[in-house]
Structure 1
């Protein structure tokens, strides 16, 4: 919110509500991207395990089959680690959605009141900022 502190900038209730909604959307997109990353790591693990098993059946040398199995094991570990990030991203997404709804509930009525009021608002130059 550094931009809010620049001289002459004006923050409206609508802008706050819009930003809260946008944050919730970005959090959900981040979660989806992390879930795709977890799937990729698991796919790589499955592929490397399949290749290791196939090479073992074909009697390929042990260092090669072991290397592929190691790649499978490491890829599965990465998928599990990304799974933890997915869980945390889910929490972030839920918190952001709650933030958006709470912001709308708390400040939306002010924006509605400003939009529908019948009283003339003061000229901005008469409002002193502290």
Structure 2
């Protein structure tokens, strides 16, 4: 095996390992972003509910207080929907971490074997698919 082919194989393994780690990092970042979104929807729901209750005490017209309460109800529903996304992103994060671990376990061994082997590797033309 020539030095160029060996380096090419190692770079390929390195890129596979890097991609596995990158998926894990992206999944964690996505989860944090979705959690922030859930928090914002919940804050908006609480704020709209507070305003609707305050307007009721101040005898503001019913359509206005009702509209604010609807905003609170819809924001609560959106926060609950986002909670489902947070749960799914937990699963995604777990799967991505498993992908990273499995990639390292499978391809890391191949990269190590490629670097330390004493057997001449087959020429790429020989193993090329027809």
Q: Give the TM-score taking structure 1 as reference length.
A: 0.83
Shift of the alpha carbon at 1:114?
1.3
Identify the structure with the greater helix proportion.
Answer: 2
Specify the alignment match of 1:87 in structure 2. Answer: 87
In structure 1, stretches of 5+ residues that fail to align are 1-8
Kindly provide the CA deviation profile for residues 15-62 of structure 1, in whole angstroms up to 9, marking residues without a partner as x.
211111111111111111111111110010011011111111111111
Distance in 2 separating the partners of 1:41 and 1:116: 55
Distance in 2 separating the partners of 1:129 and 1:14: 23
Distance in 2 separating the partners of 1:25 and 1:49: 37
Specify the alignment match of 1:67 in structure 2. Answer: 67
2:66 aligned counterpart, secondary structure: helix
Shift of the alpha carbon at 1:128?
2.4
Specify the alignment match of 1:6 in structure 2. Answer: none
Specify the alignment match of 1:17 in structure 2. Answer: 17
Specify the alignment match of 1:98 in structure 2. Answer: 98
Shift of the alpha carbon at 1:91?
0.4
Distance in 2 separating the partners of 1:13 and 1:128: 18
In structure 2, stretches of 5+ residues that fail to align are 1-7
Specify the alignment match of 1:35 in structure 2. Answer: 35
Specify the alignment match of 2:53 in structure 1. Answer: 53
Kindly provide the CA deviation profile for residues 68-89 of structure 1, in whole angstroms up to 9, marking residues without a partner as x.
0110000000000110111011
The number of residues matched between the two structures is 122
Distance in 2 separating the partners of 1:74 and 1:14: 47
1:12 aligned counterpart, secondary structure: helix
Distance in 1 separating the partners of 2:90 and 2:82: 12
